[in-house]
Structure 1
Amino acid sequence: MARHIYACPLRWSDMDAFGHVNNVVFLRYLEEARIDFMFTQAAEAGAGEFAGGSVVARHEIDYKRPLVHRPAPVTIETWVTKIGGASLTVSYEIKDVAEDGTETVYVTASTVVVPYDLAEGRPRRISPVEREFLGRFTDEQPAGRAA
């Protein structure tokens, strides 16, 4: 199973009064990784329909440890844990990976995404092309759970 890898820059404005990245900013990081995955990477693979519209139906996020500002980006791994008829669940880990392979995980999360027909104003089914693209990144193991 492949995972989508996104290097997310940290911005000085992401910090809160306590000197670490604010909890709500992590949702923006997830959004950046999801857009890169579902819009940019999917379009490059010929599955660009997601860029026509999608909505978030649910977020679930577990904060594991504080993340402080530094010049280096944080790594966001993204994969798909469920593909339904008209929705999918994306899992994430926001982390650092050291040269020796050790990982420091800051956040595990998941998002339920619904493809949406903006012109019709309603959800739409996942197309076969989208399903094939998502299948390359599918692992039923949610973020933060031991294999």
Structure 2
Amino acid sequence: MTEQRILLHTCRIPVRWGDMDAYGHVNNTIYFRYCEQARVEWLEQGGFMVSLDQSDGPVIINAACTFMTPVTYPATVLVRLYAGAPGRSSLMNWYEISVEGEDTVYAEGSAKVVWMNHLTGKSVPLPESLRKQFEN
């Protein structure tokens, strides 16, 4: 790691039978859903509703995932959400996906979150209350 990362949130997600693909492991698209769930939980716990009803809010401008070991049903995945230092309007998130009860990291991901005005489509400064999570 070249940048300091802060653990912000951990969530538990049961693997559903339908999450698997024809190869008998969790489909690659589902890992992005796992990361999304962790991100939404973290934002909503901080009082930021992920909704177009708000004039400003988070959007994702890129996302990536590296798959190291396949997850299979039945299992419960643990998604650890980390972030680096916030920029003016953006925040990098990183994810570690493991299976509950194991030390192995099954996948690693990242996403860049940008705070955007939904009416103009332009970036806006991150909310001060979000920024305060990174003080100290």
Q: Tell me how far apart the structure 1 counterparts of residues 121 and 93 of structure 2 sit (CA, whole Å).
A: 23
Q: Where in structure 1 do 4 or more consecutive aligned residues deviate above 3 Å? A: 49-52
Contact 2:82 2:93 survives alignment (8 Å): yes
Instruction: Name the CA shift for 1:50/1:123 in 2 (closer, same or farther; >3 Å).
Output: farther
> Which of 98, 111, 114 is the aligned partner of 1:95?
98
Instruction: Name the CA shift for 1:49/1:16 in 2 (closer, same or farther; >3 Å).
Output: closer
Q: Tell me how far apart the structure 2 counterparts of residues 2 and 83 of structure 1 sit (CA, whole Å).
A: 14
Q: Deviations over 1:104-133 (max 9, x none)?
A: 211111100111111333221112211012
TM-score, normalization: structure 1?
0.77
Deviation at 1:77, TM superposition (A): 0.5
Instruction: Report the secondary structure of 2:25's partner residue.
Output: coil
Q: Tell me how far apart the structure 2 counterparts of residues 115 and 27 of structure 1 sit (CA, whole Å).
A: 20
Q: Tell me how far apart the structure 2 counterparts of residues 21 and 50 of structure 1 sit (CA, whole Å).
A: 26
* Unaligned stretches of 5+ residues in structure 1: 139-147
Q: Does 1:5 align with 2:10?
A: yes
Instruction: Name the CA shift for 1:13/1:21 in 2 (closer, same or farther; >3 Å).
Output: same
Q: Tell me how far apart the structure 2 counterparts of residues 95 and 118 of structure 1 sit (CA, whole Å).
A: 34
User: In the alignment, which residue of structure 1 is the partner of 2:3?
Assistant: none
TM-score, normalization: structure 2?
0.83
Q: State how many pairs are aligned.
A: 127
Q: Tell me how far apart the structure 1 counterparts of residues 17 and 100 of structure 2 sit (CA, whole Å).
A: 21
Q: Identity rate of aligned residues, in percent? A: 30
Q: Tell me how far apart the structure 2 counterparts of residues 54 and 124 of structure 1 sit (CA, whole Å).
A: 10
Contact 2:8 2:42 survives alignment (8 Å): no
Q: Tell me how far apart the structure 2 counterparts of residues 104 and 65 of structure 1 sit (CA, whole Å).
A: 8
Q: Tell me how far apart the structure 2 counterparts of residues 60 and 116 of structure 1 sit (CA, whole Å).
A: 21
Contact 2:70 2:106 survives alignment (8 Å): yes
Instruction: Report the secondary structure of 1:37's partner residue.
Output: helix
Q: Tell me how far apart the structure 1 counterparts of residues 9 and 84 of structure 2 sit (CA, whole Å).
A: 13
Q: Tell me how far apart the structure 1 counterparts of residues 46 and 120 of structure 2 sit (CA, whole Å).
A: 22
User: In the alignment, which residue of structure 2 is the partner of 1:19?
Assistant: 24
> Which of 75, 80, 86 is the aligned partner of 1:77?
80
Q: Deviations over 1:61-114 (max 9, x none)?
A: 1111000010x421101011231101100111011243xxx5121111110011
Instruction: Name the CA shift for 1:83/1:56 in 2 (closer, same or farther; >3 Å).
Output: same
Q: Does 1:60 align with 2:64?
A: yes
User: In the alignment, which residue of structure 2 is the partner of 1:141?
Assistant: none
